[in-house]
Structure 1
């Protein structure tokens, strides 16, 4: 005679399946880029608002002038992106392909997104990224490339008409990237009811509740489970 193992969990609770949305190298790369961009935004806006000569909190922490810290952070981010392109070529290719791949049902998803962000009732899609993420990915990459390119040009030039153009490009790219990053943080933090729990995909081990993944990326979750990347 065999007996079933006793369930020692508290009444009314049950164990939920989790799934790995992003691998550890991707999560670490994301964290490094996030910190670099955050430092650039802090020092960049400090200088943009006319506080040059008055050290920001970041400048005091690193014991460097804000202009120097901003340039150093920019070169560090450039090197990080270059290393990511070389060492993570397969991940970069997947990111590019999935971000540029649009499907007929994406328009419906976008039309229902504002309400779904609150209700959690997202239209179905089959991509690795949802349609909103794909648009944000493209715009963010273009914005960061403009920031890095114009910043590198400004660091190597000293005045002149080309420098003036680069300053304008850098400034307007800063405005655009600030809005995009603020939106990304708002969604990825899980503050909006429809995205509650999503923040775990990039933090604390990257194990995401499968119910959250199924709500946001149903097609991806089905393929992932077929590949046995989930666990109870």
Structure 2
């Protein structure tokens, strides 16, 4: 294993970033036109309707179906990524409770509790709620487009409205975090923009376990005290929370002591 020296770490590949961009552009369009219609502005074109020359109801329906196509394509073409997203989002460890306890202060200080997931514990909850809300929007919207009145239609309307409320709150929170409004999350926006190149210090602050797996530390060099102070501090931070690496370091130190003892004995003889 070698210690990483590059300042940057890539968190998301190009396909993931483009999919993310498509989802958010369509979601924001749906929310914008949806809230315009909920406000009783049907018949009064929104700014987006004026720009596109398309009535808000038509625009909302068209983008809704396009969203269905995009979601289907993502599920079909990105099965491995979807599987990773799902398994990482539903994982839970007892240490996650400590992360939540420290989270309010950490949003200001950036001193988040250690976790070993691809997503932090808060992201996992947001992921599940957002996916559920989006599927509720897609399902109820498709049902409303297929029906023209009746009791089922009325239920779907209510589901669609409440799903809109939920997704709006979640998207607003996501945007606030991604834009660095909370000091603890400054720099995170680069993980989905500018080539997905994220500063390593930001990656280790927010996703320490994942970052350590992406850029494995040089445990051998650490045992031999051959790392510079910055890398030494990073290894020690990792070791505080990684039991397997602690055991590996202990084994290496035992081996080094034995080699040293054998070398000393051979010199004396």
What TM-score, normalized to structure 2?
Answer: 0.78
What residue in structure 2 maps to residue 203 of structure 1?
Answer: 193
How many residues end up aligned between the 2 structures? 213
What residue in structure 1 maps to residue 248 of structure 2?
Answer: none
What residue in structure 1 maps to residue 163 of structure 2?
Answer: 173
Mapped to 2, the partners of 1:42 and 1:104 lie a distance apart of 39
Q: Is the 8 A contact 1:16 1:209 kept in 2?
A: no
Q: Secondary structure at the match of 1:50?
A: coil
Mapped to 2, the partners of 1:75 and 1:226 lie a distance apart of 43
1:68 and 2:76 correspond: no
Mapped to 2, the partners of 1:185 and 1:71 lie a distance apart of 24
Give the number of the structure whose alpha-carbon radius of gyration is greater: 2
1:124 and 2:122 correspond: no
What residue in structure 2 maps to residue 159 of structure 1?
Answer: 149
1:109 and 2:99 correspond: yes
Structure with bigger helix share is 2
What residue in structure 2 maps to residue 6 of structure 1?
Answer: none
Mapped to 1, the partners of 2:49 and 2:216 lie a distance apart of 49
What residue in structure 2 maps to residue 20 of structure 1?
Answer: 10
Q: Secondary structure at the match of 1:226?
A: coil
What residue in structure 2 maps to residue 230 of structure 1?
Answer: none
Q: 1:213 aligns with which of 203, 212, 218?
A: 203
Mapped to 2, the partners of 1:214 and 1:53 lie a distance apart of 50
* Cα distance per residue 1:76-133 (max 9 Å; x no partner): 0010000000000000000000001111100110111011000101000000000000
Greater relative contact order (Cα < 8 A, sep 6+): 1
**Shift of residue 226 of structure 1?**
2.8
What residue in structure 1 maps to residue 87 of structure 2?
Answer: 97
What residue in structure 1 maps to residue 28 of structure 2?
Answer: 38
Q: Secondary structure at the match of 2:215?
A: helix
* Cα distance per residue 1:133-186 (max 9 Å; x no partner): 000000000000000000000000000000000000000010011001100111
Q: CA RMSD in A?
A: 1.1
* Cα distance per residue 1:21-45 (max 9 Å; x no partner): 1011000000000100010011000
Mapped to 2, the partners of 1:143 and 1:82 lie a distance apart of 16
